[in-house]
């Protein structure tokens, strides 16, 4: 492996790590040599993924937490530092989309859940972990945003608001922490083949329209997002910060031809 893409000796925390994009990132980070802390709200899922990765020779530990609860998020950060003593890479990948439809139809509870899990949990984690990252000489944060946050949406407006805020959080934290060699970036995937995206990918009418607007004429796979997340964490991405990088097959730049 090129040293540009090595994470040897580094510790990485990944939220939403038991399936889809989060699991793909965990696998690629592990293959690159990182020691992994994997989190989701389901402890059994975390343990099963840790066991599965161990069979591939990837070292990981489970640190389950409910990201809607500030106390659990802060406990997650403390548990990570107690076990490893350091943090080099933080990937805030966990996300929810409890509401579909016009913004006016979203309930207060849906607003609260969406903004808390998708945005506030990332703020809580970065507040807790970036000082340690800076003290040890630097590190990298990857926030998982979405193309729903770069354009208007008929059905995913609330989700899109939370993801647009994550991209702005990346810019702000990059400015605040850059002088201490902490880099912060966002990734905005388009439609990726995951369980999370099945309401879209299982709907032929929706997908026919979406793919007609996508220059590459296909849906992405989690590994294509994970590869970018690896670059952003590795030495090869050391001069990239404050960016929102779109991985969507050209959907947001296509003209429908």
Tell me which residues are annotated as active site.
Answer: 159
Q: What is the b/e burial string over 135-147, where b = at least 16 CB atoms within 10 angstroms of the residue's CB?
A: eeeebbbbbbbbb
Exposed (0-12), middle (13-18) or buried (19+): which is 233, by Cβ within 10 Å? Answer: buried
Residue 13 has φ and ψ, to the nearest 5°, of -105, 130
Q: Whole-angstrom Cα distance, residue 143 to residue 162?
A: 12
């Amino acid at each position: 492996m090129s040293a540009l893409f090595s994470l040897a000796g580094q510790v990485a925390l990944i939220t939403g790590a038991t399936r889809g994009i989060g699991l793909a990132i965990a696998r690629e980070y592990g293959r690159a040599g990182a020691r992994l802390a994997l989190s989701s709200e389901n402890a059994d899922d975390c343990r099963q993924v840790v066991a599965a990765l161990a069979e591939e020779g990837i070292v990981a530990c489970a640190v389950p937490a409910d990201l809607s609860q500030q106390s659990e998020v802060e406990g997650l950060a403390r548990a990570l530092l107690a076990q490893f003593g350091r943090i080099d890479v933080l990937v805030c990948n966990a996300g929810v989309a409890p509401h579909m439809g016009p913004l006016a139809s979203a309930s207060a509870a849906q607003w609260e859940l969406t903004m808390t899990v998708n945005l506030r949990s990332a703020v809580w984690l970065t507040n807790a972990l970036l000082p340690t990252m800076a003290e040890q000489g630097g590190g990298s944060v990857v926030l998982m945003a979405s193309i729903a946050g770069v354009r208007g949406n008929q059905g995913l407006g609330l989700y899109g608001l939370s993801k647009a805020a994550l991209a702005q959080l990346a810019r702000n934290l990059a400015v605040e922490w850059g002088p201490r060699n902490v880099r912060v970036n966002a990734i905005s995937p388009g439609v990726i083949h995951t369980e999370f995206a099945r309401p879209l990918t299982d709907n032929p009418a929706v997908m026919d329209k979406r793919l007609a607007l996508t220059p590459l004429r296909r849906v992405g796979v989690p590994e294509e997002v994970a590869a970018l997340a690896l670059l952003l964490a590795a030495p090869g991405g050391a001069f990239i910060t404050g960016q929102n990088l779109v991985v969507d097959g050209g959907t947001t730049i296509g003209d429908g031809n």
